[in-house]
């Protein structure tokens, strides 16, 4: 069967782009291209937005019950293609195949389920004496998603947009686009009405900025770097459209003095290294009591040394490669900066792991005796690199944790829950996790400060795709 790698999905039809311009998709485990996608242009954006605008007239008037049924059909079609999507994620971003199945693909499925549940209980209107307050779909939405959690971020935008009654144009990351193409095939198989969902590929400058600035787009939902988020927001500003953003992070993990140090450090290393360190909310700054710093380093070294970096298809692989040469080079520069600025290299370091001479593989790295002013303590690295920082007391820990331009997530570890709650209350972050809880798709996800604005997941995600109208005098 012919694949759709060079096609766009517009108005319910797989179609060729307006011009022939292809971009190779690199497998980061081999450094070789394994397929190509088409690069869109402004005329393709115009076609997709026009289709979404036409479809909005009727789709915005569907009932919540009709949209629940549509989301259930999408879930069924998604389940039919789980293995195809897992293989795609493993090929395009180097995720170990087991992780691609159990986390990458599973996360998209979890968001579909939580959105359906939220929509079943969502109220789109309320009476306030003689005033009726209603929530209505905002309109045509531009959805721009990243490469690090491709299906997670696609679904936690597409599902709530549909739940709200919006129509949309999706641009997946051009670095990891194939899972997004398969997801588009899922949407077609589910019978999504023509024009409600459209997808085209391309770069941020060729397609993403054009979508953000398009006069017929009513909202932009963007996930990516803070730098790119600023560009998108500026492109959207002239038309005064809503922009929601989930951007970078440099999350602190405060291990309090009354925590089980071995467990807290071991789990903290795993949290930092998950997805090869390519998660915006990863706990990359570990804060430990000054008098237990060296003990924490010994524990962290043992934990880091237990991670096997290898080919994504190998059964014993914990960490695959990072996604690209660009990311690999940046991470190497950051590791070298840590060494040059005087941090203690506890595990890992520059270069590839032993036995891996090809592929964008990074050595799982831990630095100790990091000071808050060091580059590795301030800049988002987006790789398996952990910085361990000392603090004097609780107030010092809170000060260090909040001393960042980011505010996406924070972590607190303590055997005294009330103590942990008190520290959590002082964190300037959109999500605070106490004692490494299970992932919760019902929690609001988003950040303070330069980590963005707006919230995703469950009913919070639906709310961001709605406008609020007050009908005063409705009661007579």
- Supply the residues annotated as catalytic: 246, 280
Candidates 122, 70, 229; CA nearest to 463 is 122
Closest listed residue to residue 9, CA positions, set 151, 195, 189, 260: 195
407 with 449: CB under 8 angstroms?
yes
- State CA 229 to chain mean position distance: 13
H or E element at residue 202: none
Cβ–Cβ < 8 Å for 250, 284: yes
Q: Collect contacts of 455-460 with beta carbons under 8 A, ≥24 apart.
A: 455/244, 455/430, 456/156, 456/157, 456/160, 456/244, 456/246, 457/111, 457/114, 457/156, 458/114, 458/115, 458/117, 458/118, 459/118, 459/121, 459/122
Q: How many CB atoms lie within 10 A of CB 258?
A: 13
Taking 3-state DSSP, the helix, strand and coil percentages for the chain, each rounded to the nearest 5, stand at: 40, 20, 35
């Amino acid at each position: 069967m012919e694949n759709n790698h060079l096609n766009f999905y517009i108005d319910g039809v797989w179609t060729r782009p307006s011009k022939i311009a292809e971009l190779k998709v690199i497998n980061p485990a081999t450094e070789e291209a394994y397929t190509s996608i088409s690069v869109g242009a402004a005329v393709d954006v115009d076609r997709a937005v026009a289709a979404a605008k036409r479809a909005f007239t009727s789709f915005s008037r569907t009932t919540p019950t009709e949209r629940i049924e549509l989301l259930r059909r999408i879930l069924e079609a998604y389940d039919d293609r789980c293995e195809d999507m897992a293989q795609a994620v493993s090929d395009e971003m180097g995720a170990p195949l087991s992780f691609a199945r159990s986390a990458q693909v599973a996360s998209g499925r979890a968001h579909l389920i939580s959105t359906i549940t939220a929509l079943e209980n969502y109220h789109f209107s309320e009476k306030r004496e003689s005033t009726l307050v209603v929530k209505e779909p905002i309109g045509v939405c531009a959805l721009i998603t990243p490469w690090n959690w491709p299906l997670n971020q696609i679904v936690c935008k597409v599902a709530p947009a549909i739940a709200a009654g919006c129509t949309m144009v999706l641009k997946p990351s051009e670095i990891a686009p194939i899972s997004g193409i398969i997801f588009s095939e899922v949407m077609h198989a589910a019978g999504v009405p023509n024009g409600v969902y459209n997808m085209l590929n391309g770069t941020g400058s060729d397609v993403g900025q054009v979508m953000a600035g398009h006069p017929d787009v009513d909202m932009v939902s963007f996930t990516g770097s803070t730098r790119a988020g600023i560009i998108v927001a500026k492109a959207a500003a002239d038309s005064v459209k809503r922009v929601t953003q989930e951007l970078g992070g440099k999350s602190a993990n405060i291990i309090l003095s009354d925590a089980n140090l071995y467990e807290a450090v071991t789990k903290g290393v795993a949290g930092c290294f998950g997805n090869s360190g390519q998660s915006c909310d990863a706990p990359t700054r570990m804060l430990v009591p000054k008098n237990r710093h060296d003990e924490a380093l010994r524990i962290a070294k043992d934990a880091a040394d237990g991670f096997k970096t290898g080919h994504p298809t190998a059964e014993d692989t914990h960490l695959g490669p990072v996604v690209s040469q660009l990311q690999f080079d940046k991470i190497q520069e950051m590791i070298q900066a840590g060494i040059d600025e005087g941090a203690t290299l506890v595990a890992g370091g520059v270069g590839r792991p032993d036995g891996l001479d090809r592929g964008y593989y990074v050595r799982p790295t831990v630095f100790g005796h990091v000071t808050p002013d060091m580059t590795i303590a301030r800049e988002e690295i987006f790789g398996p690199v952990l910085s361990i920082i000392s603090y004097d007391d609780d107030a010092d820990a809170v000060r260090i944790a909040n001393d960042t331009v980011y505010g996406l997530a924070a972590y607190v570890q303590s055997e005294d829950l009330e103590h942990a709650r008190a520290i959590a209350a002082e964190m300037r972050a959109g999500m605070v996790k106490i004692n490494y809880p299970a992932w919760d798709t019902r929690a609001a996800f988003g950040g303070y400060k330069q980590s963005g604005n707006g919230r995703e997941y469950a009913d919070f995600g639906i709310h961001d795709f709605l406008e609020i109208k007050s009908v005063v005098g409705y009661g007579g």
